[in-house]
Structure 1
């Protein structure tokens, strides 16, 4: 009996030792070393370097040493303020693929000092380019790139401009990625990329394996960078759980642990932007009267992200929904961006009536302003008015769609020059979205596209004798946007 137990324990010990050796082989230590320097060769101290798991900072001479494993794919840096975004044809190139030799990898980074201060700067956010054909790529070039390049040219007169593509870069079509890269090259500004649900590889066995194409094309799927006094973070919250095309909004523990180290280097009170594809939360459930949230449209463990962001002025930059919504929870302001492809390239507007376009953020120290830039329109195009008769349930009403509205906006109306007060907010469908998308025969190419309820609609019923109606929408920054509507001839 005793011999049997001894034999069993010895066998168990041997198995444990073999498993330990196997694990050690799977996690072979790789020593990452390098220097971050400027064009003169001078080292840059205090730059964060990471392998996506652990983070270190360069010493005063710009040197770093980081213990990693063969599980890490990249070594990369948080680009510091005051330095140009290293880029290859405007694609941010802040990383190197680890190719160890005898357990070591030398990763040196060269940064270029900016010729001007970046304390005041601008950030442009594209959500959902989502191209899967040459026809759609051509529209990306002719509509989105041309507008962005022209608008960025004006902004560059006042400060540096950086772009973020907030996911769904392609539409389950890896072969089209070169067209996206061409678009970024021609945009005139450096772009960072976010992984979206249509950028993942499906039919893989795990979430980790689903990011392969994205990483080969654009580098790490979570990282950070600095501009001026602001800190930017990109996360991957598209959690793929196999069995075909299945995902939920979820941030992995590995990212949270990395984020703790990243934020530990950020001064409390700073502006912090977090860009990820799926919204942290949307009030779609409230608008539609559903009993539960769509698991692919919210981030289930968002509360833990909110907690980590409490010491900062935090803003989330998300996409995914193809409609515009501003949502605040736990003092975190989320900007859910309408898509640059509008309704999947079938119409000029999104499901909520928001024109295809992109977000623009003006940062000056710790001060922040923003607006939505519609494609092919001037900056002050921030709403559309619908005349009486446009809505069957409100036959005499004038309806305004104010797409970037939040609760600090004011929407007033004037009748024949006289201020009448605030318009009444309500939840409904945009009239143009109904015209373009409602019904199985519309928009034709993709019959599943339908208009979606939105709460940035406002209405008022003018008097029967009114000749002119004016709407003035004032945003939280005091900017006024005006639209006029003639009701009767003079």
Structure 2
């Protein structure tokens, strides 16, 4: 294979993010560069430049001029466009001072002479702490984890398959196959890494050249995070439709900034962790809105955000190849499974989907189908990762997109949602404090399997009903299909102690339930879909079910979206406690905020977005239609949430 062809192939494979490939030469030679103004021959640019501060870079080639400008054009998410001048011309090339602000990443190197410019090659810039670590046989990745100029010992390093720990000098060696094309660290407690547009840089991309030992260093920054809070954001679904960007900025961004400031004012470290579906694959190309555009919406946030991949974060133009379909995600947001330590809590991020996308190909979106499953490779990796957590009382928080268990019935019954949920439970069995937090469903529910060490928190969506109810001409509220307000979960940690709650966007943290006076809940087409034609008005009774008939039984319905089996409920009328029953019903506010708004414009509600039965509902009967009720809900942390319910209580889209 000639060196010109080698350069083209290597560059293409690197650009595509392919992890398991090899190139036989350490350097790649570009073709000779010729146009009317530029003639450069014998160009030779290393595939990787390992640089320390104040280093010069050598570009081999003949024909450079002193006035030439060298541009470093970003070719990866971490790179930044910069330019440099030639400092010295030599017989076989030039030397340039590396731009002082150059970041690690992939670059196209472009030479400009006057008004003419020409691509002369591609390289990866890699910042190194110590370039003189000796090689070791069969060790293909090496490096140093350091802080304040000194190595940090006992940091865990992995490539998604094998593990290593740093020695007393912060040095590690990894026998990586480079299958995944990256290496990452488990950020240790009381440290942080730098962020790029909110994304923590705990990972380094590799060239994937199996014959070459690569250096991957990681810098840590001290951070006292034993007392911290993490906000979990499920199903953001940004796509530049339904006025989602305005709702996101004016609602979510404003709200989460306030939440972060609340904790930061208490000297608590604050972090974000998405739960997948940051984007919406169906609109990657139709609306030209992809993961990069999602990240740009976060630019004003001042805290790190770790990420989970969701089924809508894969490239829909890639069919029948989970690995390639996730390449854009990995190149921008990093590995799809990894772990971090924040304070005394061990957080594990997993990818529990196998994306298939049957018939997907360039220019054509496929079926976007997938299996709900954890690969054996991940389960093996997880077992190794947890083996480093020797104290089995350590809180373990597992974050992934697809739920482990299904939405429960009114009796609390549930099934496995993920195909191999028992296998995950088995790997986690040695720990006595395990929380699994998931998204995907756009609803809230909590599952505590009998006799299990696991509690699953399935979290309502930031996008609620995919941004529909707040869209222009709709209900001007933000509500999910189970009646939960669109929002996110907040978990506070102080040592091993954890406190959790669901935070509705635009609401105080104490807003944890909504009450309905069913005497006033009568949903008709005339009242809630007056503009619908006769055909669509006729559909209303089937859509709203029991609410189509006036109910004068003095019943009260509570929707408690964060409910767990160990919560307490008190409903008092004139000081007397009313009995209540857990029921599975549709939330009436969501019915009039989405389903009936669709009927109102002569359109059917999309089945995936329509109101569903939920079992965090509780029904009681009062003795009078006008009595005032005192309602108190107490969570398992002892927090009490109260409403004085004055009846009759109004029922409309702006109610609380």
TM tier, shorter chain?
Answer: 0.7 to 0.9
Q: What SS class does the counterpart of residue 441 from structure 1 fall into?
A: helix
Q: Which residue of 2 aligns with 1:278?
A: 402
Residue 85 of structure 1 contacts residue 190 of structure 1 at CA under 8 Å; is this kept in 2? Answer: no
Does residue 35 in structure 1 map to residue 144 in structure 2? yes
Q: CA deviation at 1:149?
A: 0.6
Q: What SS class does the counterpart of residue 317 from structure 1 fall into?
A: strand
Q: Which residue of 1 aligns with 2:436?
A: 316
Aligned equivalents of 1:315 and 1:442: distance in 2? 42
Q: Which residue of 2 aligns with 1:427?
A: 584
Count residues with an aligned counterpart: 457
Q: Which residue of 1 aligns with 2:309?
A: 195
Q: CA deviation at 1:288?
A: 12
Aligned equivalents of 1:400 and 1:362: distance in 2? 26
Q: What SS class does the counterpart of residue 599 from structure 2 fall into?
A: coil
**5+ unaligned residues in a row in structure 2: which ranges?**
1-19, 25-137, 359-366, 470-477, 522-546, 650-656
Q: CA deviation at 1:275?
A: 0.4
Q: TM-score, normalised by structure 2?
A: 0.66
Q: CA deviation at 1:442?
A: 6.6
Does residue 58 in structure 1 map to residue 172 in structure 2? no
Q: CA deviation at 1:91?
A: 1.2
Kindly indicate whether structure 1 or structure 2 has the higher relative contact order, using CA contacts under 8 Å at least 6 residues apart: 1
**5+ unaligned residues in a row in structure 1: which ranges?**
1-23
Aligned equivalents of 2:21 and 2:513: distance in 1? 60
What does the per-residue CA deviation read over 1:397-416, in whole Å, with 9 as the maximum and x for residues that have no partner?
Answer: 11111110010111111113
Q: TM-score, normalised by structure 1?
A: 0.88
Residue 75 of structure 1 contacts residue 107 of structure 1 at CA under 8 Å; is this kept in 2? Answer: yes
Does residue 487 in structure 1 map to residue 595 in structure 2? no
Q: CA deviation at 1:100?
A: 5.5
Q: Which residue of 2 aligns with 1:304?
A: 423
What does the per-residue CA deviation read over 1:3-55, in whole Å, with 9 as the maximum and x for residues that have no partner?
Answer: xxxxxxxxxxxxxxxxxxxxx9879977100000002x111011111111111
Does residue 456 in structure 1 map to residue 616 in structure 2? yes
Q: CA deviation at 1:67?
A: 1.0
Q: What SS class does the counterpart of residue 638 from structure 2 fall into?
A: coil
What does the per-residue CA deviation read over 1:305-327, in whole Å, with 9 as the maximum and x for residues that have no partner?
Answer: 11111222110110000100001
Aligned equivalents of 1:237 and 1:362: distance in 2? 25
Q: Which residue of 1 aligns with 2:606?
A: 447
Q: Which residue of 2 aligns with 1:153?
A: 261
Does residue 97 in structure 1 map to residue 205 in structure 2? yes
Residue 146 of structure 2 contacts residue 170 of structure 2 at CA under 8 Å; is this kept in 1? Answer: yes
Most deviating of 379-388 and 418-427: 418-427
Does residue 353 in structure 1 map to residue 462 in structure 2? no
Q: CA deviation at 1:178?
A: 3.0
RMSD (Å) for aligned C-alpha atoms: 2.5
Q: Which residue of 1 aligns with 2:629?
A: 469
Q: Which residue of 2 aligns with 1:110?
A: 219
For the pair shown, the structure with the greater C-alpha radius of gyration is: 2
Q: CA deviation at 1:434?
A: 1.5
Residue 436 of structure 1 contacts residue 442 of structure 1 at CA under 8 Å; is this kept in 2? Answer: no
What does the per-residue CA deviation read over 1:254-276, in whole Å, with 9 as the maximum and x for residues that have no partner?
Answer: 11111111100112111010100
Q: Which residue of 1 aligns with 2:274?
A: 165
Most deviating of 100-109 and 151-160: 100-109
Higher helix share: 1
